[in-house]
């Protein structure tokens, strides 16, 4: 029980840090929200696809790592290295002056919106590294508490996509400004570096 809170909180913040970034999926969800078209189906499908990938990563990779404990140490350092790389990438984005392009009227039909959601969600190779491999690897460090980590990461996805879709009109004046992403990416970098340090010093199989 002692690992429940740390695993849940770590999953929540890791999930949020990975998902809140410039990208086609977020831009599409935001664009649909701005257009007011099929907002709930798009947000829910985006979140459910994320949850499915997180579950696959935690279940599949977790089982492999449990059967081969020697890999836990390797995963720890690979995971910490990836966190540090992601943090550095966030800092680079923060200094790039990038913003999100939300121009357009959104997809006109429900079928088109759902197909586009699946496309933006699953045809991005980074999503498999982030959700299946990386989150599965980090979750394995919590041993029996890995499903609490998965729950935290899943809640992060659900809350983020619903907030992004329904808060689109309120966010629209911010997401097109480089200053917004500069602050956000800097915060993400700090979280990533903090998680890397905690992963390095965490007892294996906790």
Residue-level pLDDT at 6: 84
pLDDT tens, position by position, for the chain (206 residues)? 456 888 899 899 888 888 887 666 887 888 788 778 899 999 999 999 999 999 988 888 766 766 776 776 777 787 788 778 878 988 888 888 776 665 655 667 899 889 989 988 887 666 777 788 788 888 888 888 889 999 999 999 999 999 999 998 787 777 778 888 788 788 878 877 887 887 787 665 54
Domain boundaries, the chain: 4-201
Tokens of 111: 């079928």
Residue-level pLDDT at 45: 96
Residue-level pLDDT at 200: 80
Per-residue burial over 177-186, b if 16 or more Cβ lie within 10 Å, else e, is eeeebbebbb
- Dist. CA 180–CA 183, nearest whole Å: 6
Alpha helices in the chain (DSSP H): 4-19, 24-35, 39-56, 62-67, 70-94, 110-122, 125-127, 135-140, 146-166, 168-175, 178-201
CA angle 131, 136, 140 (to 5 degrees): 160
Residue-level pLDDT at 38: 92
User: Which pTM value belongs to this model?
Assistant: 0.74
């Amino acid at each position: 029980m002692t690992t429940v809170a740390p695993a849940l909180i770590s999953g929540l913040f890791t999930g949020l840090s990975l998902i809140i970034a410039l990208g086609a999926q977020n831009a599409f969800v935001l664009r649909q929200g701005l257009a007011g078209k099929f907002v709930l189906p798009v947000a829910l499908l985006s979140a459910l696809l994320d949850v499915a990938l997180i579950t696959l990563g935690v279940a599949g990779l977790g089982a492999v790592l449990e059967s081969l404990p020697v890999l836990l140490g390797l995963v720890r350092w690979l995971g910490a290295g990836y966190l540090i790389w992601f943090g550095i990438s966030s800092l680079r984005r923060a200094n790039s002056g990038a913003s999100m392009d939300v121009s357009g009227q959104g997809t006109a039909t429900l079928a088109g919106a759902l197909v586009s959601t699946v496309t933006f969600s699953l045809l991005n190779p980074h999503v498999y590294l982030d959700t299946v491999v990386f989150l599965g690897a980090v979750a394995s460090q919590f041993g029996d508490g890995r499903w609490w980590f998965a729950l935290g990461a899943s809640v992060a996805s659900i809350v983020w996509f619903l907030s992004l879709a329904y808060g689109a009109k309120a966010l629209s004046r911010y997401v097109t400004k480089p200053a917004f992403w500069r602050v956000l990416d800097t915060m993400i970098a700090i979280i990533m570096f903090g998680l890397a340090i905690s992963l390095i010093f965490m007892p294996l199989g906790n």
